[in-house]
Amino acid sequence: MSQFKKIEERTLEDFHGQGYLYEHSTTGAKLIHIACDDDNKSFMVSFRTLPESNNGIAHILEHSVLCGSKKFPVKEPFVDLLRSSVNTFLNAMTFSDKTVYPVASRNLRDLENLMDVYLDAVFHPLLHEDELILKQEGWHYEIHDDELSVNGVVYNEMRGALSSPDMALGNEADKIFYPGSQYGFNSGGDPAAILDLDQDEFVAFHKRNYHPSNAIFLLYGDMPIEPMLERIDAALAGFERLEDLPQLRLSPNPETPIRFRMPFAPGQEETGGNPALLCYRANPRSDEEATLALPILAYALCGPDSAPLKHAIMETGYVEDMSLSYRNFLNPCNLLFNFYGVLPQDEELLFEKIYTALEEICKTGFSQKLLDAIFSKISFSIREADNGGMPRGLVHGISAIGDLHDGLSPFTAFELSKQLEQVRELCNSDYLVELTRRYILDNQAYIYATIEADGQYYAKREAAERERLDAIYTQMTEADKAEIEQICEGLKQRRETPDAPEAAASIPHLELSDLPEAPEILDLEHDGESRVFLEGLCSGIWYQDFNFIVNDIEDRFALAVLTEVLGRLSSDRRNRHEIDLDTMIDFGRFNSSINVRNGQTYFQIETSFLVEKVDDALALLREILLDSQYTDHHEYVLPFTQLYAQYQMMALNNGHRIAIDEVQSSCGEDEALLRELSGIPFFDGIDEIIETNDYAQIAKRVANVAKQVFVSSRLLQNSCGERENKETIYAKLEAFKKSLPTGELNDPLLMPELNSTRSAYMIPSEVQYVALGGHLSNIGLPWSGKLLVLTKLLDRSYLWNEIRVGGGAYGCICWAQRSGQIGFVSYRDPKLKQTLDVFATIPDFIEQIELSDRELLDLKIACLGDYLSQRSDYQKMQLEIQYEQLGFSHEDRIAEWNDIISTSLEDLRAYAPYYRQLIDAQHFTVVGSPEMINRHQELFDSGRMLLSEGSFYMDEMDAVDELDELNE
C-alpha cells in the first residue's frame, strides 16, 4: 500500500466519474485523481516555481530536467520517449508561478513508462553533476573568427519569442504593474538576463522547488489507481517533508494609473499603428464569484464583433483589431485589453472612447440576447468536449492544479455544468454592469502601455550586444578562451557520442504486442454521389459539412475573400450583429475555408448544431448563403483590417507556417493553389484593398462569386451523428439543398504555376524559420509507410541533434505526407546558412544509418502510435473523407501499416539518393531577419519584406535595397 491517504471525494457528473484528493503522509505531496472511463489517460506533476529575476531559471530547468536522470542516464530521455512512445501528449510547460510536466496515452503500459521517466527526471536529474546541460539548454559562449557570441536553446527561444511586440510589451507591463512579485519577472527569461544564470543558482533552485512537498500530481482516466499510487510513492522514497515552501509574493495595487511607451521594433508612425495594451487589476483568486463572472464580462464586452464595446471601438477606426482577456493565472487577476494598429495621434481618442462607450453600456445594460448567445456557446462546448487536440484530462487538470496551488478546490475545474449554472444565475445584466464599474470604470489600478516605434531598434540592440560581447572578449585571458573552446567541444561530444548501451537499455519500451494488429478503419456510408454519413456518439450534436465544388471559379481572390466574410455580413432580414449572435445561438461551430485535394477544390462550410435546433440552423445558413448583402462594401472594412492584423502576428510568431507553405507551393499543384487562396498572394491582395480603400470593387466580385458557388449542383454533404436522428435530419437537409438555386458546374480551370524557389521573406525578428522541401513525384519516389519511419528518425534524432541541440534553434519539424510533400523546417532558429548546410548533410546521414534492433523497433512503434491518436467521431469522419479524396484506400492503409512493421535498415538507407535529389533541387524558403537574410543574399533568387509599409511590422530598411530587384 502507498502512503497516499484520501482526504476528499467528489462526484463529477460531467465526467461520469469520481474525483479524489490524496495527501502523501511522509512528504505532504498532493495528488488529484479523476476516475472516469476516458481511455486517453493522463499523468502530470507540477511544482510551484516562483522566479526572482528575469534569468529564465524556471524555464531552463523545465528543459534541463529532461536531459537525463539517475535511473535513465541518457542524454535526451524526452526525445527517446518521443521516438518510442504511442503517447497522445508529451510535453512540459513553464507558467508565471508553476511548471508542469504532462503526459497522456491511450495505452496503459505506455503511460506507466512515461510516468517512470518523468518522475525520475524531475526528482533525480543529472543536471546537478553535468554542467553541460545548463550550457546546452540555457546559454554558453562561442568564439568564431575572434568574435564572441552566445548560443543556447532557451536563449534563442526567448530571442524569438520577444520579437513579438505583444509578448515584449506584456512582459514590460507586468514588470511595472507587479513590482516585487513573481509576476513582475519574465518566467521564460529575458535573453540579456539569462546570461547571469550560473550552475550554483541553477542547482539550488532545483533542490528548493523540485521537492515532493512542493509537488501536486494528477492521475486522470480509466486506470487501476493503486498500482499508480505505488509507482509515485516509490519515486518519493528518501524525501522528508519540507515546511519552508515557496510562497507567492503579492504586490499592492498601484495607487494611480501608470502609462508608459516602450521603444521597439521597426515601424512607421506616419502610416501604420502600433500595438498597445490596457490592463486593470481585478480580483484575488480567492474571490469565487468574480472568478466565475469576469470571463463572461470579458467576452460580453469584446468577444464577438457584435459585443458592444468591441463594436463601439472598431467603428471608430482607432484600432485594427482588439481583444479583452481575463487572466486568472495571476494574483490578483487582471483584465487585459490588447489593441492592434493604434496611431499615436489616436491614443487619447481611443482612451476617451473606451470610457464613454463603457458608460453607455452601463446605462443600457447588456442585452439578454447577447448573454443567451454566450451561455449557448458555453453549454455547447461542455457537451462537445472538444479541446483542440489536447487531452481532456490535461486541459482541466492544469486548471485544477493551479487551483490547488492557491488553496482552492481542485474539483471545480471538472464541474463544468455546475459552474455554468452558477454563472447563469450570477451573470445577469445588472451584475455585469456592477463588475464593469468596479474593475474598469472606477478602477484606478491600471496600466496603459504602447510601442514607441523605432526604425533602428534591432540595429541598436545588435550594436549594443556586439559592444558588450566585444568588451567581454577583450578582457578574456587565453585561459578563458580555452575554457570556452573546451565547453563547446564538450557540447559537441555530448551531442555526437551515442548513449552507452546500458544507459539506452534503461529507457522503458513497448512491444508490437502492446499495439493493435491493424489500424482502425471506418466504413463511411455513401448515400448517393453527394452524401456521406458516419454514425457517431455525439451527445445529441449533429456535425454537418457542406462542400461546394469550385474548380471552375475564375475569380479566385474573391472566392478566398468569401471564406473570410461569410457569416459576417448583414442579410436582407438581420443586421450583422444579429447574424453574429444568432450564429452563436444556433450553431456550435460555423467555419468556412477552401480545401484542395488531388486537384479538386472545395469551398467547405463546417457546422455543428443540436439536433433539436436543426430547423433554425438550416434556415440561418440559407439566409447567410443566399441573402447576405454581399454588395454592401462598408461591411468589408472590419473583416479586412482584422484579418491583416492577425496575419501580421502570425508572421512574427509562426513564421514556419509561411515558410512551409511557400516551399510546398513550389513543389505541388494543390499547394500552389492553396497559396494563391490563403497565402502570401492573398494577403498582398488584402493589403492592396486596405491601402486603396477599394472595397466597392471587391464587394461586387464577391457577390458575383457567391451566386456561382452556393448552388445545389455543386453541393456535397458529410454528416456525423446518432443514427436515430439520421432520417429526420436527412429529410431537412434534402429540403435545404432543393431550396438552393440549381446553377451549373463548368470544366475545371488550370492549376496555377508552381511558386518560385530559393525565396526569402524579411520580418522584424532576431530569429529565422528555414524550410526546404520537395514532392515525391519530382524525385521518382513512391509512397510507402517506410518513409514515415525515416521521417521519424530524422525528426527525432538527426535534425533534433544538429538543428536544436547543436544549432540552438528552438525546434525543427520533418514531414512526409501522403499527398507527396516531404521536407524540413527549423523554428526560432538563430542560424540560416548553417541550417541549410545541415539539411544538405541529410543524404549522407541516411546512407550511414546505424540502429540497433531495439532502436528500429521503437521508431516503428512510434509511427504506429500516430494511428492511435484520440479523435472524435466527427474528426474520424473528416479523416476518412480526406483519405478518399487522396485516393488512399483501406487496402493502402493496411499496406502502409505493414510497411512500417517490415522496415529494415537497408530500406532506410535506400532513400539516400532520393533525398540527395531533394536537396539538389533547392526548393527552400527563409522567413527571418533582414540582417541575416542580407548577409546571405547570394543564396536567394527572390526576396522581399513580408508585410506592407503601412503596418507597424514594416520598415524601409536599407536591407531592401541590397536585395536589388528581388520580388516574390
Q: Residue 266 has what pLDDT? A: 56
What percent of the chain lies above the pLDDT cut of 90?
Answer: 76
User: At residue 139, does pLDDT exceed 90?
Assistant: yes
> What is the per-residue pLDDT for 806?
87
DSSP 238: T
Q: How confident is the model at residue 272 (pLDDT cuts 50, 70, 90)?
A: low
Whole-number pLDDT of residue 303: 93
Q: What are the pLDDT digits (tens) for 140-189?
A: 999 999 999 999 999 988 988 887 788 889 998 999 999 989 999 999 99
Predicted local distance difference test score (pLDDT) of residue 947: 66
Could you report the per-residue pLDDT of 515-555, keeping only the tens digit for each? Answer: 999 998 888 999 887 889 999 888 899 999 999 999 999 99
**H helix intervals, 100-241:** 108-123, 132-137, 153-161, 165-177, 191-194, 199-209, 225-235
Residues 6 or more apart in contact with residue 292 via CB below 8 angstroms: 419, 422, 423, 426, 427
Q: Which of 334-343, 410-419, 641-650 has the lowest mean pLDDT?
A: 641-650
The continuous run of DSSP H or E covering 261 comes out as strand 258-264
Span 654-703, pLDDT tens digits:
899 999 999 999 999 999 999 999 999 999 999 999 999 999 999 999 99
What pLDDT band is residue 732 in, cutting at 50, 70 and 90? very high
Q: What is the pLDDT of residues 277-299, one digit of tens each?
A: 999 999 998 898 999 999 999 99
Query: In what helix (H) or strand (E) does residue 808 lie, and over which residues does it extend?
Result: none
pLDDT of residue 300 exceeding 90, the answer is yes
Return the ∠ at Cα 916 (arms to 915 and 918), rounded to 5°.
60
- Confidence category of residue 954, pLDDT binned at 50, 70, 90: very low
Paired residues of 97 in beta bridges: none
**pLDDT category, 958, cuts 50, 70, 90?**
very low
740-788 pLDDT tens trace: 999 888 888 888 888 878 999 998 888 899 999 999 999 999 999 999 9
Distances (CA, A) of 856 to 88, 796, 925: 21, 13, 32
Q: Is the pLDDT of residue 269 over 70?
A: no
- Nearest C-alpha neighbor of 84 from the set 787, 869, 797, 785: 797
- In this prediction, residues 634-658 reach a mean pLDDT of 90
Judged against a pLDDT cut of 90, whether residue 822 lies above it is answered with: yes
Q: Select the more confidently predicted residue: 1 or 571.
A: 571
d(CA 364, CA 298): 17
How many Å separate Cα 646 from the centre of its chain?
14
pLDDT (average), residues 82-105: 93
**171 neighbors 163 (Cβ within 8 angstroms):** no
Confidence of residue 461 (pLDDT cuts 50, 70, 90): confident
pLDDT(217) > 60? yes
Asked if the model's pLDDT at residue 237 lies above 70, the reply is yes
**808 vs 133, more confident:** 133
Mean pLDDT taken over the chain: 91
pLDDT confidence of residue 270: 37
Percent of the chain's residues with pLDDT above 70 = 97
Query: Does residue 268 carry a pLDDT above 70?
Result: no
963 pLDDT more than 70: no
DSSP string for 34-93: EE-S-SSEEEEEEEE---SSSS-HHHHHHHHTTS-BSSS-SS-HHHHHHTT---SEE--E
